[in-house]
Structure 1
Amino acid sequence: MISKETIDKVFETARVEEVIGDFVNLKKSGSNFKGLSPFSDERTPSFMVSPVKQIWKDFSTGKGGSAVSFLMEHEHFSYPEAIKYLAKKYNIEVEETERTDEQKEAANERESMYLVSEYARDYFHKTMLNSEQGKAIGLSYFKERGFTAATIEKFQLGYNPDQWDAFTSEAIRQGYKLDYLEKTGLSIVKEEKQFDRFKGRVMFPIHSMSGRVLGFGGRILDSSKKAAKYLNSPESDIYHKSKVLYGIYYAKQAIAKEDNCYLVEGYTDVIQMFQSGIENVVSSSGTALTPEQIRLINRLTKNITVLFDGDAAGQRAALRGIDLILEQGMNVKVCSFPEGEDPDSFSRKHSKEEIVAFFDENAKDFIQYKANLLVEEAAGDPVKKADTVRDMVESISKIPDAIKQEIYVQECARIMEVSETVLYNTLAQILKKDKKEAAKQNRANQSQPPPEYMSVVPDEMPNAVEKVNVLYELERKLIESLLLYGQVEEDFEDLVLKENEDGSLGLVPEVHKLRVFEKIYLDLQDDEVEFTNDLFKVLYVRIVEQMNLNDNFQIQNFINELAPEEASEISNIILNDEKYELHRWDTREVYVRKKDTSIAQFVSETVLSLRKYLITQKIKELMDKTQGSSNNQEIIKDILDYQSLNTLLGNKLGRVLSV
């Protein structure tokens, strides 16, 4: 168990914008920050972070909460894992009691796999640095590649001994279960035998964006053996090749800062460039580039520069990835190295300044790259040139932005000496064909509704409008008022029935100075109103209790004490109006009234509306009771009393609205 003192210190120190900024490229938007949702595939920002309130909200998925809840959602951390991650980030010492054997046994499977992977990383690294075989083979190899001791340490490189079960046997001796060694792919189990998957290989740990070890890449050094040069961990619950980029953990801050990501092919390409000072670089780890990997980069920048070898294989690989990158709405450039060079060898021979200058001079926009490459192949052949032009228009068709499409059509027409009209016609044909195929696929994916369903669909269904849950919305507004303005003191006007000079009763305004939470509490107490929504009921009691005890109520402190689903709802309520800021409605001359311009009016209106709604529902309930009943005198009397009260509340509400 982590001590409460440690948890409190973590919450006091951690800044939500800094924590989320490690994973999402945030940009200033008024007093808040905005960015692309890390939980959905989107091209316009719907993700909001509030430094003042220390909360975040993702309007595309409805998720929200504190820095801890973000890590739990994004990195699938448990609560203790998230606290430990933040403690490490902010150099806070974690105080915790020793876990019992039962607690270790109860740890979930994913955590067990992470622990096994982290043990393996340390084992491979120490074996390389401390054993004779490790130093002679593994360490020598990395030094020959030009890696410094600091680089080897930073990337946690290692070596697995050339013995059948050196790692597996040691891991079992240390108390790690064979089941998890097998599930992570570190060990291969056959009948009663088990042996190391990465026997005799130098090891490259593969990290998540948060730095957790997901899997490994292993390179064999003995060319005489009939085995794959590179071997990756198999797919597991924690490692999905298509969703991982090698080096993203080390590169994420540099990518966001430079607003560009260099994409290479191999592990050593990443490490060598990083060592040369080019830190905004990642690799697809030898696998074909996937949309998931591109979206990972898209969270940090819209710009990718693809770096590939100068040979034919490298050029073909570059071409394959271009269309995928364009489909994600990103800007892509391609840079080829001189014949016989790759990012690794080139970085070894040049300084950072020389490398950057080379990229600036040779990185071409994708349309120029394709033109240079394909035109050379099609020289003197009209049919091949036509195919080349069509290939370039195919790429342009992948771009979701119509303005960019037009610009690239113009550029393509200039380079290829083809009329824009022809290119636009070709583009229109391609887009029409793609749309037709997408619609066909969509129809195929939709299952036909059963006949019994069709028979009960009412004729008026197309015009049906989803009903608004008025009670839910009003209760939610009250929670919002408490969270945003609970401690604010306001002048609240109330209309009180008093006898006039002529003996008649009339409504006389009285003004009371109250804090918002006191006003809400007293009004609801008067009518013995209770929340009907279970979550709101819990939150209401907690908020009023905290405000009553603490004059310095802080949302960020309150939210840290809540369960994830409660914290998410709080963030949803507080940042609900920020979506107007996200979409800049003011630029379209749509202006949203700020509640804090008239807090007393907003609160009074909400409370009165809730009371009036509940009374109206009570009158309907009593009216139903009169149906089929012979003795209705008492019920009718109650109805008349409630109607009088309803009229009174209506008059009060009318006065509030007219203020």
Structure 2
Amino acid sequence: MISQNTIQQILSRIDIVEIVGSFVKLKKRGANYLGNCPFHNEKTPSFTVSPSKEIYKCFGCGVSGNAVSFIMEHEKYSYVEALRWLAQKYQIEVEETEVSPQLKQFQQLADSLYIINGFAKDYFADTLFNNEEGQNVGLSYFEERGFTEETIRKFQLGYCLNTRDSFVKTAVAKGYNLEYLQKTGLVTIRNEQPVDNYRGRVIFPIHNQSGKVLGFGARILQKTDKAPKYINSPENEIYIKSRVLYGTYFARQSIDKLNECLLVEGYTDVISLHQAGVENVVASSGTSLTQDQLRLIKKYTNNLTIIYDGDAAGIKAALRGLDMAVEEGLNVKLVLLPEKEDPDSYVQRIGAAAFREFIEEHKQDFVLFKLQISLKDAGNDSAKKSQLVNEIAETISKIDKAEDFTRQQDYIRQCSQLLKIDEQGLITLVNKFIRERLTKREQQNNRNTPAAPSDDDLSDEAIAAMEAAEAQYGGGENLFNKDEKQEKELVKILLRFGDKPFSEEERNTVADYIFHLPYDFESLVSSELVKRILREYKRIYDEGNIPDKKWFLYHEDQDLAKNIALIIEDKEADLSVNWKERFEIDTVFGDVAYLKDTISTSNYLILRKIKKMIEENQQEAMNLTDFEEMKRCMELHQHLKQLEKELTQGLGTVIFK
């Protein structure tokens, strides 16, 4: 883990205009900067960067955040990866916290494998361009495939000499560990001697999302019955095949921007499409899609289009695994290329524009395509048709998110028509599979230790209800908006003025005042988000420190950081200095008003609590028969009403009518 000291160094150096400006052309507009949003296509700039608040906001698509979240979103990095990127940019040495010996050993091994792969990538690329055999064999092969030098260098392609041990000798001479060289798959042992594993092959480096080389694919060029056409790196500490899609590093921004991922089978398909300008494409390297790969795609988009170059019958087996994609919430489409064509050959023959047009015109829905293929196979066999009905119903049952309800109903309607069965019967069967899955999930949850519920733990009905409620009340005005605004105002006051003096006599701060109110914030605040922020603030406050807004704005919890950015951004217009002259009244405005704001906001929340206590007390009094208890309620009522009056006068207005 990166130490807190390093994180603080990174955060102290961050210049959000410089960071965002590395990717977006910004122009100064008053106190802020304006540019075209990198997260959606727009012609009129609506992307604003505020250097004073250290946040960005797009008024077109609504995306917002800070410098760290910008790097995370734009480059698709994790929080730690984004910090490392920033540390490298500002030349800050990353200090690691103490970790277990096992984890430290794992990290050291992983770093060593990355270093070796980086060396190998450079060695093979140099051989390709600067060695006679590399030029005559490897480079000639790539040029015959139609790849330009720019494309070859972009994908860092290479060539391994067709000699016994040229690479391993060079690597060992430079001090690279032979055991680690074997672990990467670059070197193997034959007759007790190390030899090059990829000799006589062109090399395709496989990158992770940040551009580091995880492993290699190596294609043989000589025709032989003994050796496989392709050799891939063996799985190790950094290369796990089921979690990798070839070309993700080069495609991630295009996928994000176009909101669609094209999936092909081979390395050369990806490279040819990229060269033609179709950049939102990755490859599964000929293997069935795994859940980890699907989740990697979903990180960028919910729309997956799979391009097949086989006939319909040949891809039937591959379709079985795509139920996982539906379950992950992906919108899956299929495209079959013309006979004897693959993406590589087809895009080179017709060009990028025509290729994209073909994809758009020939997209077929996965569920309906699967049904049509299976219906042809079933023919008039009633047993096969019955099995098919069950398979389709199970697939449809996995489309269970609230926002996909209409899509699920459309599938039921269309599939019942194609299967020539009763629509209500198919609905019943789909619901049966949903119930079975819910039962299985509940049984699994019961076996685990109870924990705070997450989306994964909740039933689909519960999630649907929550999402429906959020859709109904989440956007727009509602009864709680004023209260929520005051609660968020309390957060804003703490972030801006928590360390400022509240009383010079007692030498306490605004944070001291807020955390020593007659009622604790847990009872004053109803918003779970605000409670969460205040709990985090108080945790640090109890340790003797007062965090500033920057600490929260760059918090590791990106959800928290994003909400902090929104709270900071939501501002009320300050009172104009001209009011004093025009209306002959004393006004306070800007940062000078923080004492008044602190008292006003906290009084509002206390007043709200007192009003609630009055209502509860009145409700209790209505059900009492004992005189003493009634007298107690009356005295409490008078006391609370007096407090209400005092607080209302303190606020300067009657808030509750």
Q: Give the alignment's TM-score, normalised by structure 2.
A: 0.63
Shift of the 72–303 alpha-carbon distance from structure 1 to 2, 3 Å rule, reads: closer
The answer to whether residue 18 in structure 2 is matched with residue 13 in structure 1 is yes
The 3 A distance-change label for structure 1 pair 81 and 66 is: closer
Q: Shift in Å at residue 396 of structure 1?
A: 1.1
3-state secondary structure, aligned to 2:205: strand
Q: Cα distance, 1:654 vs. partner?
A: 7.0
Show the counterpart of 1:341: 341
Contact 2:40 2:257 in 1 (8 A): no
* 516-525 or 423-432, larger mean C-alpha shift: 516-525
| Structure 1 counterpart SS, 2:81 | coil
Query: 2:541: which partner in 1?
Result: 536
* Pairs within 5 Å for 1:172-571: 172-188=172-188, 193-224=193-224, 226-311=226-311, 314-316=314-316, 318-400=318-400, 401-443=404-446, 445-446=447-448, 480-483=492-495, 485-486=496-497, 518-520=500-502, 522=504, 525-526=507-508, 535-536=540-541, 540=545, 543=548, 571=561
Q: Secondary structure at the match of 1:66?
A: helix
What secondary structure, in the 3-state scheme, does the structure 2 residue paired with 1:195 have? strand
Partners of 1:67 and 1:281 in 2: CA distance: 25
Partners of 1:359 and 1:72 in 2: CA distance:
26
Taking a change above 3 Å as real, the CA distance of residues 417 and 537 of structure 1, as seen in their structure-2 partners, is: same
Amino acid at match of 2:19: A
1-structure distance, mates of 2:51, 2:22: 6
Indicate if the aligned counterparts of 1:302 and 1:330 stay in contact, CA closer than 8 A.
yes
Tell me, yes or no, if structure 1 residue 77 matches structure 2 residue 81.
yes
* In structure 1, distance between residues paired with 2:76 and 2:279: 27
8 Å Cα contact 1:601/1:656 also seen in 2: no
Structure 1 distance, partners of 2:191, 2:491, is 60
CA distance in 2, matches of 1:434, 1:541: 48
Q: Which amino acid aligns with 2:231?
A: L
**Which residues in structure 2 correspond to 1:20-35 (within 5 Å)?**
none
Q: How big is the shift at 1:257? A: 2.3
Give 1:202 deviation, angstroms: 1.5
* In structure 2, distance between residues paired with 1:397 and 1:79: 41
Q: Deviations over 1:201-230 (max 9, x none)?
A: 221111122222222222223342523322
Separation in structure 1 between the aligned mates of residue 248 and residue 202 of structure 2, nearest angstrom = 20
2:493 alignment partner AA: S
Work out the CA distance in 2 between the residues paired with 1:317 and 1:360: 24
SS across alignment from 1:392: helix
Give the residue type in structure 1 aligned to 2:159.
Answer: Y
2:273, 2:343 within 8 Å by CA — same for their partners in 1? yes
One-letter identity of the residue aligned with 1:153: R
User: What letter corresponds to residue 283 of structure 2 in structure 1?
Assistant: S
Equivalent residue runs for 1:103-114 within 5 Å? 108-114=108-114
Picking from 574, 578, 594, the partner of 2:564 is: 574
Question: Match of 1:237, as an amino acid?
Answer: E
- Matched residue count: 500
Q: 1:5 to 1:386 in 2, by over 3 A?
A: closer
Q: Distance in 2 between matches of 1:233 and 1:75?
A: 28
Instruction: State the partner residue of 2:68.
Output: 66
Partner of 1:616: none
Report the secondary structure of 1:218's partner residue.
strand
What's the CA shift for 1:265?
1.4
Alpha-carbon distance change, 269 to 606 in structure 1, aligned in 2, over 3 angstroms: same
1:268 is displaced (CA, Å) by 1.3
* More off after superposition, 73-82 vs 229-238: 73-82
Query: What is the letter of the counterpart of residue 305 of structure 2?
Result: T
Q: 1:228 to 1:447 in 2, by over 3 A?
A: farther
Match of 1:418, SS state, is: coil
User: What letter corresponds to residue 167 of structure 2 in structure 1?
Assistant: F
Q: How does 1:45-60 map to 2 (within 5 A)?
A: 53-54=53-54
| 8 A Cα contact 1:128 1:138, kept in partner | yes
CA RMSD of aligned residues (A): 5.0
1:413, 1:610 → 2: CA distance?
A: 56
Whether the 8 Å CA contact 2:316–2:370 is kept in 1: the answer is no
Separation in structure 2 between the aligned mates of residue 72 and residue 574 of structure 1, nearest angstrom: 21
Contact 1:259 1:300 in 2 (8 A): yes
**Which has the bigger relative contact order, CA under 8 A and spacing at least 6?**
1
* CA positional deviation for 1:273: 1.7
CA distance in 2, matches of 1:236, 1:649: 68
How far does residue 267 in structure 1 lie from its aligned partner after superposition?
1.0
SS at the partner of 2:380? coil
CA contact (8 A) 1:117 1:184 kept: yes
Distance 1:171 1:107, change over 3 A: farther
Q: CA deviation at 1:540?
A: 4.9
Answer whether contact 2:68 2:83 (CA < 8 A) is retained.
Answer: no
Cα displacement (A) at 1:395: 1.7
CA distance in 1 between partners of 2:19 and 2:162 (Å): 44
Whether the aligned pair in 1 keeps the contact of 2:316 and 2:373 (CA below 8 Å) is no
Could you tell me how far apart the structure 1 residues matched to 2:411 and 2:244 are?
A: 31
Shift of 1:376: 2.0
Q: Is the 8 A contact 2:16 2:67 kept in 1?
A: no
Q: Secondary structure at the match of 2:388?
A: helix
Alignment of 1:633-648 (within 5 A): none
Q: How far apart are the structure 1 equivalents of 2:21 and 2:291?
A: 28
1:52-102 CA deviation, whole Å, 9 max, x = no partner? 844699xxxxx9983599589717438554433xx4xxxxxx7799xxxxx
- Shift of residue 519, structure 1, vs aligned partner: 4.2
CA distance in 1: counterparts of 2:559 and 2:430, whole angstroms = 46
Provide the rounded CA distance (Å) in 2 between the counterparts of 1:75 and 1:191. 47
Q: Secondary structure at the match of 1:204?
A: strand
Structure 1 contact 72–82 (Cα < 8 Å) conserved:
no
Q: CA deviation at 1:127?
A: 0.9
Partner of 1:126: 126
Distance 1:442 1:106, change over 3 A: closer
What is the CA–CA distance in structure 2 between the aligned matches of 1:448 and 1:535, rounded to whole Å? Answer: 28
Tell me, in whole angstroms, the C-alpha distance in 2 between the residues paired with 1:309 and 1:478.
60
Instruction: Work out whether residues 305 and 332 of structure 1, in 8 Å CA contact, stay in contact via their aligned partners in 2.
Output: yes
Tell me which moved more, 167-176 or 65-74.
65-74
Quote the Cα distance in structure 2 between the aligned partners of 1:192 and 1:274: 42
Given that 1:68 and 1:83 are in contact with CA atoms closer than 8 Å, whether structure 2 keeps it comes out as no
Distance in 1 of aligned mates of 2:235 and 2:386: 42
Aligned residues: percent identity?
A: 36
Instruction: String of CA shifts for 1:390-428, please: whole Å, max 9, x gaps.
Output: 322222122123322111101112233322122112212
- How far is the alpha carbon of 1:524 from its aligned partner? 6.1
1:83-123 Cα offsets, whole Å, 9 max, x none, are 33xx4xxxxxx7799xxxxxxx9994443332222222111
Check conservation: 1:264, 1:284, Cα contact below 8 A. yes
Q: Matched residue of 1:394: which SS? A: helix
**1:530-578 superposed Cα distances (whole Å, 9 cap, x missing partner):** 99967337895675xxxxxxxxxxx66x789x8x76x979837834859
Q: Is the 8 A contact 1:17 1:50 kept in 2?
A: no
CA distance in 2, matches of 1:5, 1:375: 60
Unaligned 5+ segments in structure 2 are 1-5, 25-37, 58-64, 94-104, 452-487, 516-536, 571-589, 607-641
Q: Which residue identity does 1:481 align to in structure 2?
A: I
Question: Counterparts of 2:384 and 2:70 in 1: how far apart (Å)?
Answer: 56
